[in-house]
Amino acid sequence: MQSRKLHALIAFALFLVAAVVFAALSGKPVDLWRVALWSLVGVGSYMVLSRVFGFDPHRTRIADHEPAYMHYVDRWELRLGQATLCMLGGVVVAARLLDAEHFVTAVVSGTLSAWTYFAFRLYVGGYRARAVAR
């Protein structure tokens, strides 16, 4: 199962289920429409920024004969880190400008849904450990 769009939809649904469970267990009201909107922003921006910064564990510019730690640093630390920090910064700025009254809900929904997407893709094998250099 390698489809990024399918993984994004499943992660989005999982995050909404988690928000409903949180609301039920905590007894605090949760605005599901706001959570859904910011979750879409978080997952969508994370997917776009991962592509922009070249995070694709299936391809690399590092030669195959280089040590494994070089491949790890290139993919997971540099490229994924850039995408993650830019996504967080973008969500924070957008939340402050567009939804300042619900800033915390917006930022938490955007960032945690993006990490739900990442964790789900990692769990189901969307990121293979060994890349195929092309």
56 located within any domain: yes
73 located within any domain: yes
CB contact at 8 A, 108 and 39: no
pTM above 0.85, yes or no: no
Number of domains in the chain: 1
131 located within any domain: no
133 located within any domain: no
Long-range contacts of 127-133 (CB under 8 A, 24+ apart): 127/57, 128/57, 128/58, 129/57, 131/57, 131/58, 131/59, 131/60, 131/71, 131/75, 132/58, 132/59, 133/59, 133/60, 133/62, 133/63, 133/64
pLDDT tens for the 134 residues of the chain, in order:
458 889 899 999 999 999 999 999 999 999 999 999 999 999 999 989 888 877 765 556 666 777 777 766 767 666 777 888 899 999 999 999 999 999 999 999 999 999 999 888 878 876 665 544 44
129 located within any domain: no
130 located within any domain: no
102 located within any domain: yes
Domain coverage including residue 12 = 4-124
